[in-house]
Structures are given as C-alpha cells and as structure tokens.
C-alpha cells in the first residue's frame, strides 16, 4: 500500500493577526507539517516571517515546522531558525555561494535539510548534494506570493527528482509548493510527489464560519 500523501499548509495564507490560533487549527485539522515561508524582500519580492515569530508559534503545534527560507545570504540565519524550533530547514541553491556547506550546517544542527528548486532551476543541481538531503522541494510557482497558478511545465522535473530519490534507496521527501489545489495535487502525486504545500487551498475560508481546514486537507490527499 502506498503511504498517504503528506499535507503541509502554508501559513502565508493564514490570518496573520491570529497566527497562533491558525497553527493550532491546522494541526487539529490533520496537517502533517506546518509550512513556514520566510521571505526577505531581496531574494524574493515579499517580506514575511522571522525567527521570533517561529519561536512564538512553536508552542501552538507539535507537528514538524517545515521552514522554507527564501533569504540571501541564508547562512547567517540558519542557526536562528534552528533554535526557534524549525524541524526541516529548506534552502535554495541560489541563496549563497556554498549551498553544500549550508546543507551540512543544517544537518550539524540536528535538523532535516531541504533543497528548493525554483521553476528556472534545473533538476541536475540535486546531483552533487543528494547525500545531504532529507527533502527536495520543487516550486511550481515562482516564489514570493501565495495564490499563483500551478506551472505544469514543472511536472517533468518532479518525475526526474522522483527517479533520483528512488535510485538512492533512502527516504527523501518530495515536496511540491505553489498553486496546489485538488486538481493539481493529483497531477503532482501522479508523477511522484509525496508531500504537498498548500496555502490558499487550505486557508481560502480562513477565520470565517465556513472554515473547514480538515475537509480541505483531506480533499488534497486525494
Ligand atoms: C510561495 C510560497 C508558497 C505559497 C503557496 O513563495 O513558497 O508556500 O505560500 O501558496 P499557494 O498554495 O496559495 O500557491
Ligand atoms: Zn513555501
């Protein structure tokens, strides 16, 4: 039997005025990971969350914090996110001159290391660092904002990453981020994704009487 798909709601689409409650709510609703998008206004054109917020959110969920760092240079901030309570720390290869060393640093801090491929980044960047990876994150939008359309052009890259993971025989998660909804989730899963980030698809009904995070999460699992 295949393992159920993991769902990682992105709190970028949550109600920032009630972030602790939102994290608790998605946890109760069945979130496997809490996806935290960290943006610096330089590597990507948006500003979001720093380590102090991650630390403040930590008591609101026992699920792993999946921190997606979209900051450059990233090295000076990795330890701060580890100390704040991140469990998985994912970096982009373009976020510093020595991404191999950055992945080593994440592992040395006792955290799981993730590598994020932008839509314009080729899958071959994985090859020299496969032995250091616990998670591969394929972007299906250009990073910076929630609510963008899924780029179907990235499906072959997901399949190519799946082949590479299977060749290692190790457990490496294959996570997809951007434009995931019930239809695109199916397309990503069909080519080998096992973990789906979802912002708008989970939080579209945020805070309102109609909020149904558990239903949204369950439907994405397919
Ligand atoms: C985009 C972020 C995503 C984003 C996804 O830069 O990395 O995690 O929140 O949002 P949706 O699911 O709405 O595309
Ligand atoms: Zn993300």
Has residue 175 got a pLDDT over 70? yes
Predicted local distance difference test score (pLDDT) of residue 222: 85
- Cβ–ligand 1 contact at 99 (below 6 Å): no
Task: Determine the pLDDT at residue 162.
Answer: 98
Protein residue closest via CA to atom 1 of ligand 1: 143
With a 6 A CB cut-off, is 10 part of the ligand 1 pocket?
yes
Q: Tell me the per-residue pLDDT of 112-168, one tens digit each, with 9 for 90 and over.
A: 999 999 999 999 999 999 999 999 999 999 999 999 999 999 999 999 999 999 999
What are 71-120's pLDDT values in tens digits?
999 999 999 999 999 999 999 999 999 999 999 999 999 999 999 999 99
Give the number of the atom of ligand 1 that is nearest the alpha carbon of residue 199: 12
Over 90: is that where the pLDDT of 207 sits? no
CA of 170 to the centre of ligand 2 (A): 23
> Are the C-beta atoms of 160 and 138 separated by less than 8 Å?
no
Q: Is 175 in the pocket of ligand 1 (CB under 6 A)?
A: no
Q: Which of 32, 37, 66, 194 is the catalytic position? A: 37
Which of 68, 120, 144, 148 to mutate for ligand 1's pocket (most ligand atoms within 8 Å of CB)? 148
**Is residue 190's pLDDT more than 90?**
yes
From the CA of 199, the nearest ligand is: 1
Point out the ligand nearest to the CA of residue 46: 1
Q: Are 133 and 126 in contact (CB under 8 A)?
A: yes
| CB of 143 closer than 6 angstroms to any ligand 1 atom | yes
From the alpha carbon of 144, which atom of ligand 1 is closest? 6
Q: How far is the CA of 138 from the centre of ligand 2 (A)?
A: 10
pLDDT in tens, 21-67: 999 999 999 999 999 999 999 999 999 999 999 999 999 999 999 99
Instruction: Average the pLDDT over 199-204 and give the result.
Output: 95
Q: Where are the domains of the chain?
A: 6-221
Q: Which CATH number fits domain 6-221: 3.40.50.720, 3.20.20.70, 3.40.50.300, 3.40.190.10?
A: 3.20.20.70
- The pLDDT confidence band at residue 213, using thresholds 50, 70 and 90, is very high
The CA distance from 25 to 29, in Å, is 6
Whether the per-residue pLDDT at 2 is higher than 90: the answer is no
pTM of the model: 0.97
Q: Among 12-26, 112-126, 180-194, 198-212, which stretch is predicted with the lowest mean pLDDT? A: 198-212
Per the CB < 8 A criterion, the answer to whether 196 and 175 are in contact is: yes
8 A C-beta contact, residue 101 and residue 107: no
Q: What is the pLDDT of residue 69?
A: 99
pLDDT at res. 67: 99
Residue 205 has pLDDT above 90, yes or no: no
Q: What is the pLDDT of residue 25?
A: 97
Active site residue 177: yes
> Are 15 and 22 spatial neighbours (Cβ–Cβ below 8 Å)?
yes
Token pair of 205, please?
Answer: 């009904």
């Amino acid at each position: 039997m295949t393992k159920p798909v993991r769902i990682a709601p992105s709190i970028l689409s949550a109600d920032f005025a009630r972030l602790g409650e939102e994290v608790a709510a998605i946890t109760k609703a069945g979130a496997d990971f809490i996806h935290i998008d960290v943006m610096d206004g330089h590597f990507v054109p948006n500003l979001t969350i720093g380590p102090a917020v991650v630390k403040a959110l930590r008591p609101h969920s026992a699920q792993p914090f999946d921190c997606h760092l979209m900051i450059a240079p990233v090295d000076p901030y990795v330890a701060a996110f580890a100390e704040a309570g991140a469990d998985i720390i994912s970096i982009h290869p373009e976020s510093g001159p020595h991404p191999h060393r950055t992945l080593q640093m994440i592992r040395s801090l006792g955290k799981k290391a993730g590598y994020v491929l932008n839509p314009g980044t080729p899958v071959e960047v994985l090859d020299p660092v496969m032995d250091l990876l616990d998670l591969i994150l394929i972007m299906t939008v250009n990073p910076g904002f929630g609510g963008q359309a899924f780029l179907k052009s990235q499906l072959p890259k997901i399949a190519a990453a799946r082949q590479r993971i299977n060749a290692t025989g190790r457990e490496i998660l294959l996570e997809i981020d951007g434009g995931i909804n019930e239809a695109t989730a199916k397309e990503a899963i069909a080519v080998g994704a096992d973990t789906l980030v979802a912002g708008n698809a989970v939080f579209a009904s945020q805070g309102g009487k109609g909020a149904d995070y558990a239903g949204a999460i369950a439907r994405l699992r397919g």
